[in-house]
């Protein structure tokens, strides 16, 4: 009689021990899963902030181009009536890369068209590059979820900090790029703008804290200069290297972002 009771007690103790061990393992797994999910949420929050800043940058750069378009709207129309050399139109034709388009408008309309087409081309290209920056970062998070789940806790912390550092670095470079192109816009408007365009730009330059005193002094010299009527070719030839450099710098940021993100998981 004592033997069956002893066996029953042993089985009961064994069951309790197994239950405790199972409960411990479940809790450990649950905690690990919660930590992983929390880590992914952290990455997604960093990604969301990055995407919001990218969208803000897109709006800012788009407005820079719109400012140029609006500032030279009347000037372009005036120039269009002046009867420029047809050779100028061929030069402009190559600048905006619209060789596949057949024009049905009269020759005097070409200067105005080429100016706005050129500005719009760069505006669209800049927005496209910024979309790529956002897409690369989003794809990085989506494609590496499983890898993140299988990483140790200490490695996940390092990966999160590295990811945030990469995003912050790109955003800081974008901020500097926007400031640089804001200054370039001032130069364009002061050099070629007339009337209220030039006057308003001078006032903005005076109050822009991002401009050095030395540069501000140089810009304010335009206050003593009288801008003459300018050919659209001259305006576009002045803008083209500025905007080409902007697109080149955005391409460089795309390359940097791709390389830096790949290094995080190595």
pLDDT digits (tens, 9 = 90+) for 131-149: 999 999 999 988 887 776 6
CA separation for the pair 113, 236 (Å, rounded): 12
Q: How many helices (H) and strands (E) does the chain have?
A: 9, 0
Q: Tell me what pLDDT residue 81 has.
A: 46
pLDDT tens digits, one per residue of 2-15: 556 655 556 565 56
Average pLDDT, the chain: 77
Q: Tell me what pLDDT residue 33 has.
A: 54
Q: Tell me what pLDDT residue 74 has.
A: 57
Q: What percent of the chain has pLDDT over 90?
A: 39
Evaluate if residue 195 carries a pLDDT over 70. Answer: yes
CA separation for the pair 98, 120 (Å, rounded): 12
Distance of CA 111 to the CA centre of its chain: 31
Sequence-distant contacts of 237-246: CB under 8 A, at least 24 apart: 237/95, 238/188, 238/191, 238/192, 239/68, 239/118, 239/119, 239/188, 240/95, 240/118, 242/181, 242/184, 242/188, 243/122, 246/122, 246/126, 246/177, 246/181
Q: Tell me what pLDDT residue 137 has.
A: 94
């Amino acid at each position: 009689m004592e033997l069956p009771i002893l066996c029953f007690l042993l089985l009961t103790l064994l069951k309790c021990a197994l239950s405790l061990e199972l409960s411990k393992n479940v809790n450990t797994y649950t905690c690990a899963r919660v930590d992983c999910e929390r880590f992914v949420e952290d990455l997604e929050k960093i990604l969301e902030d990055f995407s919001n800043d990218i969208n803000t940058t897109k709006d800012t750069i788009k407005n820079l181009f719109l400012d140029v378009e609006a500032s030279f709207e009347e000037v372009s129309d005036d120039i269009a009536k002046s009867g420029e050399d047809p050779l100028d139109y061929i030069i402009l034709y190559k600048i905006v890369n619209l060789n596949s388009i057949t024009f049905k408008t009269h020759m005097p309309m070409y200067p105005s068209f080429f100016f706005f087409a050129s500005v719009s081309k760069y505006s669209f290209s800049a927005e496209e590059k910024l979309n790529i920056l956002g897409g690369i970062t989003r794809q990085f998070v989506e494609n590496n979820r499983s890898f993140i789940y299988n990483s140790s806790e200490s490695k996940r912390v390092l990966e999160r900090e590295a990811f945030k550092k990469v995003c912050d670095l790109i955003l800081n470079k974008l901020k500097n790029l926007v400031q640089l192109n804001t200054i370039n816009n001032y130069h364009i408007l002061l050099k070629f703008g007339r009337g209220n365009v030039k006057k308003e730009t001078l006032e903005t330059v005076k109050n822009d804290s991002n401009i050095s005193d030395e540069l501000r002094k140089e810009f304010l010299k335009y206050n003593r200069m009288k801008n003459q009527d300018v050919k659209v070719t001259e305006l576009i030839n002045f803008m083209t290297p500025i905007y080409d450099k902007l697109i080149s710098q955005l391409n460089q940021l795309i390359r940097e972002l791709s390389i830096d993100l790949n290094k995080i998981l190595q």
